[in-house]
């Protein structure tokens, strides 16, 4: 196919008439009209690769299923084999899927782009003439028992389910496990906690990191909770949910085959009208991504502040020194992994606004913001996956506690005073704290001045006994 000279054209036709199409491309007239009518964003705004591959999986499963309903086995096999070139990403990389995200809100053009590419590639495999629609027609054969309105939302679910299972969940799990390791390793390192960004009562560094571990555990649980909705496919609803032109039994058989091809437990959606008219499941899954972004933002900011310094900041932990941090200050090293992750989180939060607006739109039997929705969901999955991996490998795993600084903070803290309250009362304790703060002394020094014996003070103020209920 690609031995043809670049710039040569062939003629293909659709319902609007003939179109000139590049000779070295498998797509046809409908795709070419979209290329000409939606020149938006350039290469960076192409329909995501994952969606094209997901449509390829769907078309392969449909061709094999349609053979059971009378499709010529020779045609079915050719379509299935051509779909493999889509699934592998080979044809995407070679430029046969040029359409932008910004097209019909139903994704119709991308569905037809795939139909044309698979159809022409299958014709070529059979020794026919590309563009002839003989013996394989993009609508009659590749799109048999389907509609753009049920294939594109199904492809959305296939792509998102794959991204969640194969990319994001492993990345979050690895980061969570690293946090748990730090929780265990630092369970006996005492530090001063902070509330309102002010000194608070003692805790351990391990306890602090246990909070981060739980946040990530909760994030995984939210993704687990939404996955059953993502496994429900709209395939079989065709145009409006009635299943017009779809053979009885096709949805169950085809979706079972999709489950086999992907290794994921896809099932037929319980209600095709909901599955076509709304994208609530995508809003829900991005809600889980949004909460994860909120959690990661908090975690990264905490670690950034704990590592501030090296001499004039909090300096409670040492962050890995990965690269120089300044063009003017030699030796300066910045918390770059924290900064990258927090920027990612901000972007995901912005994506959530777009997904929410998209999910709220569309009319009657069809949501028409699907390309916008899925492109943002997939981008968030990719950003969070890469962000978690980078933050884990290049920051969290290399964090070291600054034990001297932590111990010094504990010794100097005014927040040891609550241990005195049960013994001398709140009013007297408050006066001791005020004196220590005004005089720049420790709580112990002022307590001894107030008449408390060193023996009593040492018995009452036991930092190791202040780490939980008494």
| Whether residue 122 is found in the same domain as residue 240 | no
Structural domain contains residue 258: yes
Domain CATH for 240: 1.20.200.10
Which has the closest alpha carbon to 105: 288, 286, 360, 349? Answer: 360
Structural domain contains residue 4: no
Does residue 196 have an active-site annotation?
yes
| Whether residue 68 is found in the same domain as residue 42 | yes
Q: Give me the catalytic one of 326, 356, 390, 435.
A: 326
Structural domain contains residue 3: no
Domain CATH for 48: 1.10.275.10
Q: Give me the catalytic one of 3, 6, 15, 196.
A: 196
Q: Name the percent of the chain lying above pLDDT 70.
A: 99
How many domains does the structure of the chain reveal?
3
Structural domain contains residue 470: no
Parallel, antiparallel or unpaired: strands 400-401 and 317-318: antiparallel
| Whether residue 371 is found in the same domain as residue 245 | yes
| Whether residue 323 is found in the same domain as residue 255 | yes
- Burial zone of 15 (CB within 10 Å; 0-12 exposed, 13-18 middle, 19+ buried): exposed
Of the residues 354, 375, 404, the one at which a domain ends: 404
Question: Given a cut of 50, is residue 2 above it in pLDDT?
Answer: no
pLDDT on residue 5: 52
CA–CA distance, 246 with 289 (Å, rounded to integer): 35
The per-residue pLDDT for range 211-225, each reduced to its tens digit, is 999 999 999 999 999
Domain range for 453 is 414-465
Query: Which tokens go with 463?
Result: 């930092």
Structural domain contains residue 409: no
Structural domain contains residue 2: no
The per-residue pLDDT for range 248-277, each reduced to its tens digit, is 999 999 999 999 999 999 999 999 999 999
On whether the CB atoms of residues 370 and 156 are closer than 8 A, the answer is: yes
| Whether residue 114 is found in the same domain as residue 223 | no
**Sign of the CA dihedral running 382, 177, 345, 289:** positive
| Whether residue 226 is found in the same domain as residue 211 | yes
Average pLDDT, the chain: 96
The per-residue pLDDT for range 446-457, each reduced to its tens digit, is 999 999 999 999
CA–CA distance, 65 with 239 (Å, rounded to integer): 19
| Whether residue 364 is found in the same domain as residue 226 | yes
CA angle 245/130/255 to nearest 5° reads 35
| Whether residue 302 is found in the same domain as residue 421 | no
Question: Given a cut of 90, is residue 435 above it in pLDDT?
Answer: yes
| Whether residue 320 is found in the same domain as residue 193 | yes
Which has the closest alpha carbon to 358: 343, 344, 375? Answer: 375
């Amino acid at each position: 196919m690609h031995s043809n000279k670049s710039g040569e054209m062939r003629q293909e036709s659709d319902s609007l008439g003939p179109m000139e199409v590049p000779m070295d491309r498998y797509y046809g007239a409908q795709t070419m009209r979209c290329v000409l009518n939606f020149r938006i964003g350039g290469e960076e705004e192409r329909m995501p690769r994952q969606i094209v591959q997901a449509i390829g999986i769907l078309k392969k499963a449909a061709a094999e299923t349609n053979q059971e309903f009378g499709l010529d086995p020779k045609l079915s096999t050719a379509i299935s084999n051509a779909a493999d070139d889509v699934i592998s990403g080979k044809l995407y990389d070679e430029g046969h899927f040029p359409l932008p995200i910004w097209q019909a809100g139903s994704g119709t053009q991308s569905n037809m782009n795939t139909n044309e590419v698979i159809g022409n590639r299958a014709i070529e495999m059979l020794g026919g003439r590309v563009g002839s629609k003989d013996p394989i027609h993009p609508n009659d054969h590749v799109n048999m028992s389907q509609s753009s309105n049920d294939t594109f939302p199904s492809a959305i679910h296939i792509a998102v389910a794959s991204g969640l299972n194969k990319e994001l969940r492993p990345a979050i799990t690895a980061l969570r496990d690293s946090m748990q390791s730090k929780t265990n390793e630092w369970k006996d390192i005492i530090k001063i906690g902070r509330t309102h960004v002010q000194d608070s009562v003692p805790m351990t560094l391990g306890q602090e990191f246990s909070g981060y571990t739980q946040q990530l555990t909760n994030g995984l649980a939210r993704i687990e909770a939404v996955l059953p909705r993502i496994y429900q496919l709209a395939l079989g609803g065709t145009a409006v949910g009635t299943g017009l032109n779809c053979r009885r039994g096709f949805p169950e058989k085809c979706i079972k085959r999709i489950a086999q091809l992907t290794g994921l437990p896809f099932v037929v959606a319980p209600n095709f009208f909901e599955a076509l008219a709304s994208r609530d499941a995508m809003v829900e899954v991005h809600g889980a991504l949004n909460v994860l972004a909120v959690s990661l933002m908090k975690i990264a900011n905490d670690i950034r502040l704990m590592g501030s310094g090296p001499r004039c900041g909090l300096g409670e932990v040492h962050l890995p020194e990965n690269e120089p941090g300044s063009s003017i200050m030699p030796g300066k090293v910045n918390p770059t992994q924290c900064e990258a992750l927090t920027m990612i989180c901000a972007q995901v939060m912005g994506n959530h606004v777009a997904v929410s607006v998209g999910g709220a739109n569309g009319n009657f039997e069809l949501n028409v913001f699907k390309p916008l929705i899925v492109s943002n969901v997939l981008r968030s999955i990719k950003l969070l996956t890469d962000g978690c991996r980078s933050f884990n490998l290049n920051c969290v795993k290399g964090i070291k506690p600054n034990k001297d600084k932590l111990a010094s903070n504990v010794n100097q803290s005014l927040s040891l005073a609550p241990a005195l309250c049960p013994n001398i009362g709140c009013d007297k304790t408050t006066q001791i704290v005020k004196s220590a703060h005004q005089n720049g002394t420790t709580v112990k020094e002022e307590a001894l001045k107030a008449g408390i014996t060193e023996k009593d003070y040492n018995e009452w103020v036991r930092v190791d006994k202040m780490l939980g209920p008494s």
